Structure 1
Amino acid sequence: MYSRDQIETFRTILKPLCDTGTISPELFAVALKAVKEHWQGETSTVPRGPERSLSRKEVAERLGVSSRTVDRYREHGLLKGYSYGPKIIRFLESEILAFQQGFQSEKEGGAK
């Protein structure tokens, strides 16, 4: 996945090539679109706003599981992680609370 800086570097390198006619404007547009789509791929960036984001470790502590289990939950689509850099994944507190409530409901429903 590419960072915003990498996309901007890519654009900065290719734009002069487009301006001088070395590559066509169509190729430039297609290449930039492909890079942006790749960047927006599997993991979204952290939404901007007042909501608190949590680290893997904080999520693991709240859920009473290991960090590896948090990774598995994310890999299986149970939790949504947000990229805050090439190796930094954060989780929105509200989404973790909703996950906890759903998990508690399932446990209580299964115990009856």
Structure 2
Amino acid sequence: MNAKRAAKLMQIASYYGEEKQVCKLIEELGEATSAASEVLMMLSYHELGGKKRDLTARLEHLAGELADVVNVTEQIIQLFGLETDFKVARHAGIQKTLKRIREEEQANETRDEPARRNL
């Protein structure tokens, strides 16, 4: 994060304080969840009439809500000194997901192997 942006976020976080910003994070996460649900609804809606326009609007709404989540998340990380813990957890989460993907791919290959033998 650049220094100017970090200073602005810290100014906001310091003004409102830890408790209010944790409450704000909960609020923003809820709004992002709702926006993501709207996108999912549009992606699974099979009727074509107006879908593209509605999906675009919902994606724009989701982008705004995610921006709010990231801004407040960065404030929380700064307020509580979680920079290192956050980076470690983020890296670990990526590695865990990649491992799960490799395992799923291997399981799928194993499942498909008998069908290939019968060809």
TM-score with structure 1 length normalisation?
A: 0.30
Q: Which has the higher contact order (CA 8 A, sep 6+)?
A: 2
Indicate the structure with greater strand content.
1
Indicate the structure with greater helix content.
2
TM-score with structure 2 length normalisation?
A: 0.29
